[in-house]
Amino acid sequence: MSNIVAIVGRPNVGKSTLFNRLTESKKAIVEEQSGVTRDRIYGRSEWNGKEFSVIDTGGYVKGSDDIFEGEIRKQVEIALEEANYVLFVLDCTVGITDLDESVAKLLRKNSKKKIFVVANKVDNPSRINDTYEFYSLGLGEIYGISSVNGAGTGELLDALTAEMELSNEEEEAELPRFSVVGKPNVGKSSLVNALTGQERNIVTDISGTTRDSINTRYNAFGFDFILVDTAGIRKKNKVHEDIEYYSVIRSVNSIENSDVCIFMIDATEGLQKQDLTIYYMIEKNHKGVVVLVNKWDLVEKETNTMKEYEEKLRAQLAPFNDVPIIFTSTVNKQRLHKALEETMKVYENRIRKIPTSTLNEVMQEIIEENQPPSVKGKFIKIKYVTQLPTHAPSFAFFCNLPQYIRDSYKRFLENKLRENFDFEGVPVRIFFRKKN
């Protein structure tokens, strides 16, 4: 089940600062002026063992002179439609403004959403009394926080994650779920039509839980899986006004509910910023991925065109570039069967479980030959390794001084795992734990 949290509110109440704190990043630009956040920013957060996506929206405004006002407002409305939970941020030092009332009115229309009213800038205990007036908005409990120093954010996250369900992916996914994702006009609809149009009598529609996604069971040529087509996003009345933004929002839901993502890019355009945004979401959600470079029939070719294109693409996708890359043409139905083969292979890589004895037999020899570098005169000894019981490949290395393991050695171990066990197309997570 997907968990998407949207942060909304009028300008300059601290939404981006809160986003940075929740995602433990500095992706959102923070300035003491309104309207700084215009492009939507997406991040990943975890609290109490529950992971969720966070969307930082632009400040909701009406009647200003800012030419971006209309676009910001539309993006907020789209985020509200797609999010499961909403953090409505207010400024306790200012109180309720007309713009706050406008946002509250919009939230009341989304009565099915779980709303958390966040009174920000409670930087000291004396400001707690300033938060009580927000109860007059009629949106429920008020959570007083300081997004700058983190005060109160723990209580907010406790309440937020208490509403979330633990992932029941294993129970839901009796069949593998493959989502077709990518920015608009890369050929997602054409791919699905080409696949499902071959043998219509063996394709049955299944009603899905994700709105506006088309879930289809594909059972042909030895394959049996659920294909999730996100191209249906154009059905929304508002979509044509902000298709790029909406496509990313829809991708969040589809990615979170997938085992493997068929990630499509336009060969004639190459990998662009919007593509990378979606690709990074796949990685952060620990999903498998197969990259389809579509419209390859439109590219002028020389002897090494494909090889050079692939090398450049892998450099752009680094550091997670151990992924299958297939050059396709949905119009000519070129290499589509190969794409399905690679997708199923990545799925098998994602669910692969390696016996602890086999894992240690291979990795301990490698570790003995390449010991972790000593730090401050302290020598690190890795005792053993085991695969964790997670949906995506995760490994715990037990050692005496886990805090001194460097990122370079962590990448070394990941590369050795990939060399010895096939994890192509799948993000691999490595943890270091203390061996008592």
pLDDT tens digits for 392-410? 899 999 999 999 999 999 9
What is the structure's pLDDT at 268? 95
pTM above threshold 0.75: no
pLDDT (tens digit per residue) in 23-62? 886 544 333 333 333 344 677 888 988 888 888 876 665 5
pLDDT (tens digit per residue) in 161-195? 999 865 444 444 478 999 998 887 888 878 888 88
In order of 14, 285, 342, the CA distances from 288 in angstroms are: 35, 9, 11
Question: d(Cα 230, Cα 251) in Å, to the nearest integer?
Answer: 7
- Percent of the chain topping pLDDT 90: 45
Q: How many CA atoms lie within 13 A of 428 on its CB side?
A: 27
* Dihedral in degrees, nearest 10, Cα atoms 269, 271, 273, 274: 80
Check residues 251 and 11 and name the one with the higher pLDDT.
Answer: 11
Q: At residue 2, does pLDDT exceed 90? A: no
Kindly state the average pLDDT of the residues 241-246: 49
What is the structure's pLDDT at 60? 63
What is the structure's pLDDT at 63? 56
Q: At residue 368, does pLDDT exceed 60? A: yes
In this prediction, residue 1 has a pLDDT band, given cuts at 50, 70 and 90, of low
Question: d(Cα 323, Cα 267) in Å, to the nearest integer?
Answer: 17
Q: At residue 241, does pLDDT exceed 50? A: no
Q: How many CA atoms lie within 13 A of 424 on its CB side?
A: 12
Neighbours of 44 (CB within 10 A): 18
Q: Which residues contact 337 (CB under 8 A, 6 or more apart)?
A: 221
What is the structure's pLDDT at 110? 67
Region for 48 from its dihedrals, namely left if φ exceeds 0, alpha if ψ lies in -120 to 50, beta otherwise: left
Q: What are the backbone dihedrals phi and psi of residue 218, each rounded to the nearest 5 degrees, phi first?
A: -110, 115
Kindly state the average pLDDT of the residues 332-340: 93
The per-residue DSSP string of 330-358 comes to TTTTBSHHHHHHHHHHHHHHHH----HHH
Check residues 185 and 299 and name the one with the higher pLDDT.
Answer: 299
Kindly state the average pLDDT of the residues 352-363: 95
The pair of three-digit structure tokens given for residue 175, joined into one six-digit string: 């069949």
Contact present, 114 and 80 (Cβ < 8 Å):
no
What is the structure's pLDDT at 111? 64
Kindly state the average pLDDT of the residues 99-127: 86
Question: Please, what is the Cα angle at 414 between 413 and 417, to 5 degrees?
Answer: 85
